[in-house]
Amino acid sequence: MTKSWKTKLIHSDAKIPEGYRSLTTPVYRGSTTVFPSAAAVRDTWDQYRVGYTYGLYGTPTVLELAARVCELESGTHTILTPGGQAAISLINLALLHTGDHILIPTSVYFPNRKLTTHLLARFGVTSTFYEPTIGAGIAALIQENTRLIWTESPGSITMEVQDLPAIVAAAHARNVLVVLDNTWSAGVLFDAFAHGVDITMQALTKYIGGHSDLLLGSVSVRDAALYQRLGAAQQNIGCAVSPDDCSLALRGLQTLAVRLSAIEASALTVAKWLAARREVESVLHPALPSCPGHEFWKRDFLGSSGVFSIVLKPGPSQEQVFAFIDALKLFKVGYSWAGVTSLAVAYDIGRIPGRPPYDHRIVRLSIGLESTDDLLADLEPALQKLPA
């Protein structure tokens, strides 16, 4: 068939050499996936079972990242979501029904708390918040209609490390699933499935991305039936992820080990330095004995990452805490930690029910890849701004 130049724009016969081999995964963008025949058309989400059907369920770039995260977490299936919070909501929407009950720690990532108390409550799912240090005591809170126990270890901001094996034992004795937000560990410093967890999620936005330039999440499981429920829900919800973001995350993965070990060493040095300061009441870093649940970190974790909190001694007003943060030059102020830039954020947790009485004296730090000495030199004069 002879083609007009207009048709050639869409249906080209141009040729390029074959056999190109790169070290990187190509970025496959696509909504439409072309089927070989009219009869082959399917709208099935499980691309491993039926082959590629639609961009919503992942192009090869997306499935490559999912498979790589799955491999690192020793799961059997991983589904990617547009962010960590989307991973949390996918799990809840896939597995819960009206009338169900969930248990959730008071230390949980705040948007997860809000999803529970607002949207899930609106759909008739009830919840009980529990102390993150509860351990085997969780058994007393399990009801007839409890379906899920959320865990997050260490917890957001207050950093409590949870006794996962004890919670898993109590949950499984009553046929309840345990979900872990494993973001702090980047999915590699805590082997969730080896400790009995049923479902893990991560904000890949954090250490896997590692450069503060993308939003992605993951949900991993070992059980094929759970994978079917999660995949079907994802199809219903329609949360696709960008192959370009996945390509950046695949790049991030390659340097995860070196970034994490540099960040771990620097964060530990900064945490120990802060622990010796007169302005600091305590340092909530899982690798230090001053952190609640430190013994579980020591027993269960393979290392530590770069996020921890400090509690200032009573005295400074919230404005004075803000002035301390604003005096920092290298530490920037902002959400979404685990990039190469160190961050500091002051929280007032006095308004969150069930949190320790730190009020506005708690500051969370995310250590990046700057020189540790420079970070200490940045902290020193800023701390001196605090009242004696």
Ligand X SMILES: *Cc1c(COP(=O)(O)O)cnc(C)c1O
Q: Does 84 bind ligand X (CB under 6 A)?
A: yes
Q: How far is the CB of 159 from ligand X (least distance, A)?
A: 11
- Does residue number 269 form part of the binding site for ligand X (CB under 6 A)? no
**Residue 183 binds ligand X (CB under 6 A):** yes
Type of residue at 278: R
**242 belongs to the binding site for ligand X (CB under 6 A):** no
84-95 vs 224-237: helix crossing angle, rounded to 10: 110
31: left (phi over 0), alpha (psi -120 to 50) or beta: alpha
CA-CA-CA-CA torsion sign (292, 297, 300, 301): positive
83 binds ligand X (CB under 6 A): yes
245 near ligand X (CB under 6 A)? no
The answer to the question of residue 203 lying near ligand X (CB under 6 A) is yes
Rounded to an integer, what is the distance from CA 291 to the centroid of its chain? 20
Q: Which stretch binds ligand X (CB under 6 A): 91-99, 202-210, 280-288, 368-376?
A: 202-210
Single residue of 133, 143, 336, 341 touching ligand X by CB under 6 A: 336
Cα(263)–Cα(247) distance, integer angstroms:
23
Token pair of 275, please? 């622990």
Q: Which residues pair with 217 in a beta bridge?
A: 81, 203
Q: Does 215 bind ligand X (CB under 6 A)?
A: yes
Secondary structure element (H or E) that encloses residue 247, with its range: helix 243-254
Could you say whether residue 347 binds ligand X (CB under 6 A)? no
Q: Which amino acid is at 73?
A: E
Determine, following the binding rule CB under 6 A, whether residue 89 of this chain makes contact with ligand X.
Answer: no
Instruction: Choose one: 22-30, 77-85, 283-291, 326-334; the region binding ligand X (CB under 6 A).
Output: 77-85
- CA-angle at 184, arms to 370 and 64, nearest 5°: 95
138 or 219: CB nearest ligand X: 219
Of 79-87, 218-226, 318-326, 346-354, the window that binds ligand X (rule: CB under 6 A) is 79-87
Q: In this chain, which stretch among 135-143, 203-211, 270-278, 313-321 interacts with ligand X, using CB under 6 A? A: 203-211
The length of the chain in residues reads 388
Total binding residues toward ligand X, as defined by CB under 6 A:
14
Q: Which helix or strand (DSSP H or E) is residue 91 part of?
A: helix 84-95
| Contacts with ligand X, residue ranges (CB under 6 A) | 83-85, 109, 152, 156, 181, 183, 203, 205-206, 215, 217, 336
